[in-house]
Amino acid sequence: MNLFAPDYYVKSFKSINLQRLHENGIQLLLCDIDNTLVAYDEVFPNQDVIDFVEKLKENGIEVALCSNSPSARGEEFSKHLSVSNAYTFACKPFPFCFKKAKKDYGLKASQIAILGDQMYTDILGGNIWGLYTILTAPIAIKDRKITKVFRFFEELLYGYLEKKNILKRGEFDD
């Protein structure tokens, strides 16, 4: 297993196959915010995000936010969604939010999925700690300055994963 390769690769959160999540025993989806659900400079969730969260919940999958963003950002964003928790300033790929989510929901790591747009934070962290990992293409090209540094290294990773026939950018599972 490559720690940077996701279990599931999608173009957008909107294209996630809920049946696939159920088949993998997922009961909780941890969602990154910036460039996963909305662009990093959007303050509030849009209707697509609201509908996505509602659809997950209607289908028996609990939703929480798990973001490296400052607490104020994550907490304000979560006020407009029916999510049960907002793990902010999560310091992904470190295990803090993953361990807290396991404890808060009484779940095994294998019952939790992480949805994010970055290999070095969301996918690496989720894979190290045994979560089901979902990589989505970034919503916007613009990023925070620190994220741009990670994107540079992510380009190298895409090249490596493509060469090994593990993952090809733009060839989505759904």
Q: Can you name the residues that pair with 114 across neighbouring β-strands?
A: 30, 133
| pLDDT tens digit sequence for 5-40 | 999 999 999 999 999 999 999 999 999 999 999 998
Q: How far is CA 70 from the centre of its chain?
A: 16
| pLDDT tens digit sequence for 79-124 | 999 999 999 989 999 989 999 999 999 999 999 999 999 998 999 9
Domains of the chain: 8-163 (3.40.50.1000)
Beta strands in 12-130 (DSSP E): 28-31, 62-66, 85-87, 112-116
